[in-house]
A and B are shown apart, each in its own frame.
Chain A
Amino acid sequence: GAVVSQHPSRVICKSGTSVKIECRSLDFQATTMFWYRQFPKQSLMLMATSNEGSKATYEQGVEKDKFLINHASLTLSTLTVTSAHPEDSSFYICSAQGDGANVLTFGAGSRLTVL
């Protein structure tokens, strides 16, 4: 079946630094990937839609200069949290369209902790 890999699974960084999270579709090509954010004990909130070869589409209220998304190939999308602050600490999950047109495959998530 379709597999989506995220890396790193956990990252701790100092306030003010930037962190890059990778999302890879391992056995299929994904023209579109999605980035979600999950706060503790809460649901997932869509942050942006990542389109291969073009600019990402951000949801209302998400700062595009803060959360940089690059989708340079059909198997890789990256999310860079720039100048991270403690309030950016969260669980970030990506997803991509898997086998079939109506199924999304999610990555295992990346837990970011900003000190």
Chain B
Amino acid sequence: GEDVEQSLFLSVREGDSSVINCTYTDSSSTYLYWYKQEPGAGLQLLTYIFSNMDMKQDQRLTVLLNKKDKHLSLRIADTQTGDSAIYFCAEIPGGTSYGKLTFGQGTILTVHP
């Protein structure tokens, strides 16, 4: 079955870059997503990348996709304390109807002043 894995914790200093990594198993995934969840809140879509892309940049966020290794990363430049949250990567597995996302376990990002 589909499996999405992330490292559980990341701690960085304010102003540094954060890199959150994710691996997935389904090579036929169409879209891959990054969501942010603040404590007690729902999920906020940060960015997404189509499977035929290698990179996508959106302001402080850079997504890199290595389809060969099935590896996805999210880089946050100039990390701020407000970026502290849980970050989920998610995929739509191939052959799955749109909207049935498979999520990773989430990476808890802690930003220290």
Contacts and interface: CB of A to CB of B under 8 A. Distances in A.
B99 A44 contact: no
A49 B92 CA distance: 14
B52 interface: no
Interface string B32-61: 000100001111110010100000000000
Interface stretch (A61-69, A74-82, A107-115): A107-115
B13 to A, nearest CB: 24
Nearest to A110: B42
Nearest to A42: B105
B48 A102 contact: yes
B42 A107 contact: yes
A49 B101 CA distance: 11
A34 B97 CA distance: 12
A46 interface: yes
A8 to B, nearest CB: 13
Interface in B62-113: 88, 97-106
Given A42-B105, A102-B31, A108 B45 contact: no
Interface in A1-17: 6
Contacts of A44: 43, 88, 101, 103
B1 to A, nearest CB: 10
B45 A46 contact: no
Given A34-B99, A95-B99, A106 B42 contact: yes
Interface in A52-76: none
B41 A104 contact: no
Contacts of A6: 42
A32 B96 CA distance: 14
A102 B98 CA distance: 8
Interface of B: 31, 35, 40-45, 48, 50, 88, 97-106
Given A34-B99, A102-B48, 13 more contacts: A32-B99, A34-B100, A43-B103, A43-B105, A95-B99, A102-B50, A102-B98, A104-B99, A105-B45, A106-B42, A106-B45, A108-B41, A109-B42
Closest 7 A/B residue pairs (Cβ) = A108-B42, A106-B43, A109-B42, A43-B103, A106-B42, A44-B103, A43-B105
